[in-house]
Amino acid sequence: MKRTLTHLADGRELFYFDRYDDMDRGAVDERELPPRPAPSELRYDPLTEEWIAIAGHRQSRTFLPPADQCPLCPSAPGRLSEIPASSYDVVVFENRFPSFSTPPGTHDDPGGHAGAGVIGGTRPGLGRCEVVCFTSDHDSSFSSLSPAQVELVMEAWIDRTAELSAIPGVEQVFCFENRGAEIGITLAHPHGQIYAYPYVTPRTKLTLRAAERHRERTGGNLFADVLAAEREAGVRVVAANEHWTAFVPAAARWPFEVHVYPHRRVADLSGLDRAERAAFGPLYTGVLRRLDGLFGVPMPYVAAWHQAPVNVGRDLSYAHLELFSIRRAPDKLKYLAGSESAMGAFVNDVPPEEAARLLRAAITD
């Protein structure tokens, strides 16, 4: 793999990840771009003890442009995009409309902690948000990527996780993909994102607290024990190979939800060895094709990598991917209405065992 760093017209970093070392990445971004926005503001909610990012500049971000104006396709004569090159394998670049950002030269302690009165405290939304383009083919999807292409995407995730984790103030790195208009994507090109948060996210705090209590009770790792139990039960397993198992969790929140675990516990993606990285793509793309085969339409989904935070809970964590869709039937979506949105109390219309059975039987061609 060859990694090449270059810069866009407004100073943002862009990385090419290529299979071959002879790729020329000297193309220059010739656009005239406005200055980069100031960092967002984080506001502390004392009722939930959570940080909320206020990022007004994101209201003006690009929204579902036609294919011939896609900013994630390679640049061409008369059509300049976010990628200056005329072709690429995998590209990662700083988001032009970030939820979190650290201006060049800003490496001070962000300060502004919680507890500043009943309203709560504020602090700059320092961190970083990046876009990951999985392929230059606008009409493709992650499920269509070759095993070699998936490995290259994984190398990009690993590279960026390591580098973003080293930014002062970053506490957690999150790699994810939103797919489908129903999910709320703003760009149709096959891509994902990476968030480098200046705090540990609420979901991760909850799971780490549960993992710590489990270790105190049993001496075991909660994630490893869940994986072992699902593999032994078998009824909710969707797919498996030598290094990975994909299963519908027993308490799935979403109509179709699949968790993908490596058989060996690692804190983050960088801990995966060569064989584990190679084995991920064939299994995962097969699961994605099963999702698409359920109802004969492209399934909207969120694919979320759970990795250990940078500074805490690494001995408790177990890197894994959680994949879920809001589609519950060919013509029906699950909306997060009163119980889910207001109370955080999920009700799932599809029994997890039935979801697993349907996914195992789905057409994958």
Among positive and negative, which fits the CA dihedral 134, 138, 140, 145? Answer: negative
pTM above 0.85, yes or no: yes
> What is the predicted pLDDT for the residue at 113?
55
Distance between first and last Cα of the chain: 30
What are the start and end residues of each CATH 3.30.428.10 domain in the chain? 2-198, 203-361
pLDDT surpasses 60 at 17: yes
**pLDDT score for 103:** 82
Catalytic site includes residue 259: no
Phi, psi of 338 (to 5 degrees): -55, -55
**Cβ neighbours around 58 below 10 Å, total:** 17
The CATH homologous superfamily of the domain defined by 203-361: HIT-like (3.30.428.10)
| Confidence band of 114 (pLDDT split at 50, 70, 90) | low
Annotated active-site residue in 57, 113, 191, 306 = 191
| Mean pLDDT of the 225-231 span | 98
Position of tokens 């392929």? 135
HSE, CB side, 13 Å, CA atoms: give it for residue 117. 4
**Cβ-contact 94, 82 below 8 angstroms:** no
The per-residue pLDDT for 363 is 82
> Between vectors from CA 239 to CA 238 and to CA 243, what angle results, nearest 5°?
140
H or E element that contains 336 = none
Architecture of domain 2-198: 2-Layer Sandwich (3.30)
pLDDT score at 268: 98
42-67: per-residue pLDDT in tens?
999 999 999 999 999 999 999 999 99
Phi, psi (deg, nearest 5) at residue 158:
-65, -45
**Residue 339 gets which letter from DSSP?**
I
d(CA 269, CA 191): 18
